[in-house]
Amino acid sequence: MRLVEERRLGPVVGLGTYGTFRQDIVLARRLADAALAAGTTVFDSSPMYDSEQALGAGLADRRGTARVASKIWTSSLEEGRRQYKAQRRYFGRVEIEQVHNLVAWREHLGGWIEEERDAGRIDRIGVTHWSSGSFGELEAALETGRFDTVQIPLNPLEREAERRILPLAAERGVAVIVMRPLGGSEGVRLRRAPPAGELDPLHELGVETWTQALLKWALSDSRVDLVIPATSRPERVVENAGAGSPPWFPPEARALVERLATA
Ligand SMILES: NC(=O)c1ccc[n+]([C@@H]2O[C@H](COP(=O)([O-])OP(=O)(O)OC[C@H]3O[C@@H](n4cnc5c(N)ncnc54)[C@H](OP(=O)(O)O)[C@@H]3O)[C@@H](O)[C@H]2O)c1
């Protein structure tokens, strides 16, 4: 039984937590403060990132205004249940529970995640993969109709999901969460800002910086719901949040960002 009839999550900017604050509760709190003040309320985590406990502590009394999207990352059902139990300790509940990198997705789904969703302790069930090499299996997972969200990489230099996952997600009413919207930790080239003046045509669309242009580029695809850029700097959380409201890019603005990204 689906609990969420309204399938869209956005379009909004969330916050990724891979490789940023890890167990640093003070930094987690500063980032959560900046995010919530800027209207960023969805936080993506995973047992893989070693960030869940600090995120839970960082959100603390503001938990009611935040939505946590975490993951289960193990081939063992028993370990999956243990990860979930730990998440309930850190967060109280998990709004979006995702199967990380498709690991044992059938087993976790039928074994316990759907049961938790049906009992009202999880709002949405998701699935993720970082590699287009696994999009075949991701498609098979979405075809079952049992997932509410899918998380994939998408930025002007990584566009395979546009061809394979976004159309299927739109057809199935699955909300799309974009990881690596700024090219990931190794995406230094993508994040290098174009020469001054090149972004001028985007100012009237609410964009002041190159990273905002990249985030708005993804959110302006009507099939995308949520981008989750990660940063360890509170001022960048605020900058990134600035990309999360209309006006969205028309095709010419998206084409400009693509041209600048590949120049
Ligand atoms: N399910 C999966 O397999 C999977 C895989 C990868 C990622 N994810 C999720 O997706 C999230 C995002 O992906 P990601 O962290 O790989 O990559 P990303 O968000 O595309 O890029 C993160 C990098 O961008 C920099 N950055 C962020 N905001 C910036 C700004 N305004 N100006 C300049 N640089 C900026 C950060 O550096 P600073 O810290 O120095 O700002 C960091 O090095 C992850 O945190 C995670 O939650 C999931």
Residue range 137-195, pLDDT digits in tens: 999 999 999 999 999 999 999 999 999 999 999 999 999 999 999 999 899 999 999 99
The pLDDT value recorded for residue 144 is 97
Taking residues 21-29, what's their average pLDDT?
Answer: 97
pLDDT at position 7:
63
Report pLDDT for 4: 53
Could you give the C-alpha distances from 239 to 44, 109, 206, 215, 230, in angstroms and in order? 18, 37, 12, 11, 12
Please tell me whether the peptide bond between 234 and the residue prior to it is cis, using omega within 30 degrees of 0: no
- Cis preceding-peptide flag for 11 (omega within 30 of 0): yes
Work out the pLDDT band at 35, boundaries 50, 70, 90: very high
**pLDDT at residue 65 in the model:** 96
Paired tokens of 187: 């995406």
What values do phi and psi take at 208, rounded to 5?
-110, -25
Instruction: Classify strands 15-16 and 12-13 as parallel, antiparallel or unpaired.
Output: unpaired
Return the ligand 1 atom nearest residue 179 CA: 10
Contact 94, 84 (CB under 8 A): yes
Q: Are 4 and 123 in contact (CB under 8 A)?
A: yes
What is the per-residue pLDDT across 41-74, written as a single tens digit (0 to 9) for each?
A: 999 999 999 999 999 999 999 999 999 999 999 9
Provide the pLDDT for residue 5: 52
Atom 38 of ligand 1, nearest CA residue: 231
pLDDT at 17 over 60: yes
- Using most ligand atoms within 8 A of CB, pick from 101, 231, 238, 239 the residue to mutate for ligand 1: 231
Q: Which ligand 1 atom is the nearest neighbour of the CA of 46? A: 47
| Residue whose C-alpha is closest to residue 225's, from 215, 233, 234, 240 | 215
Could you tell me the pLDDT band of residue 9, with boundaries at 50, 70 and 90? Answer: confident
| Distance in angstroms (rounded) separating the CA atoms of residues 84 and 73 | 10
Checking if the pLDDT of 3 tops 60, the result is no
For ligand 1, atom 16, name the residue with the nearest CA: 184
Q: Identify any residues that bridge with 155 across adjacent strands, giving them in sequence order.
A: 158
% of the chain exceeding 90 in pLDDT = 95
Cα end-to-end distance, the chain, whole Å:
48
The alpha carbon of 20 and the centre of ligand 1 are apart by a number of angstroms equal to: 8
Nearest to 188 by CA among 261, 106, 257, 127: 261
Domain boundaries, the chain: 12-262
How far is ligand 1, taken at its centre, from the CA of residue 243, in Å? 15
Q: Is 183 in the pocket of ligand 1 (CB under 6 A)?
A: yes
pLDDT at 200: 97
pLDDT score of 105: 98
Closest-lying ligand 1 atom to the alpha carbon of residue 239: 31
Fold of 12-262: TIM Barrel (3.20.20)
SS3 labels along 39-50: CCCEEECCHHHC
> pLDDT tens, 181-196?
999 989 999 999 999 8
- Coil, helix or strand for 148? coil
| Residue whose C-alpha is closest to residue 151's, from 183, 135, 129 | 129
Look at residues 76, 68, 33, 34 and name the one whose alpha carbon lies nearest to residue 51: 68
With 50 as the cut, is the pLDDT of residue 222 above it?
A: yes
Residue-level pLDDT at 8: 79
Q: Which of 238, 235, 240, 180 is nearest to 210 (CA)?
A: 240
Give the side-chain half-sphere CA count within 13 A for 110.
6
- Mean pLDDT for the stretch of residues 192-220: 97
Where is 82: in which H helix or E strand?
helix 77-91
The answer, yes or no, to whether residue 107 has pLDDT greater than 70, is yes
Q: Is the CB of 53 under 6 A from ligand 1?
A: no
For ligand 1, the distance from its centroid to the CA atom of residue 184, given in whole angstroms, is: 5
